[in-house]
Structure 1
Amino acid sequence: MHVTAQEIEDRIRNAIPVSHLEIEDHSSGCGENYSIVLVSEAFDGKNTLARHRFVNELLKDELARIHAFSQKTYTPKQWEALLAKVS
Structure 2
Amino acid sequence: MEIAEVQSLIAAGIPDCQLTVSGEGCNFSVVVVGQAFEGLTPVQRQQKVLATVREPLASGALHAITMKVFTPEEWRREQEREGGAEQ
TM-score (norm 1): 0.83
Q: Which structure shows the bigger proportion of residues in helix conformation?
A: 2
Structure 2 unaligned blocks of 5 or more: none
**What value does the CA root-mean-square deviation take over the aligned residues?**
1.2
Runs of 4+ deviating beyond 4 Å? none
Query: TM-score by structure 2 length?
Result: 0.83
1:8 matched to which residue of 2?
A: 6
CA deviations over 1:33-68 (Å, ceiling 9, x no partner)? 101011011101101100001111111012222221
Q: Any residues of structure 2 matched to 1:1-87 within 5 Å, and which?
A: 3-16=1-14, 17-18=16-17, 20-25=18-23, 29=24, 31-64=25-58, 65-87=61-83
Gaps of at least 5 residues in structure 1 are none
Q: Once the two structures are aligned, what percentage of the paired residues are identical?
A: 28
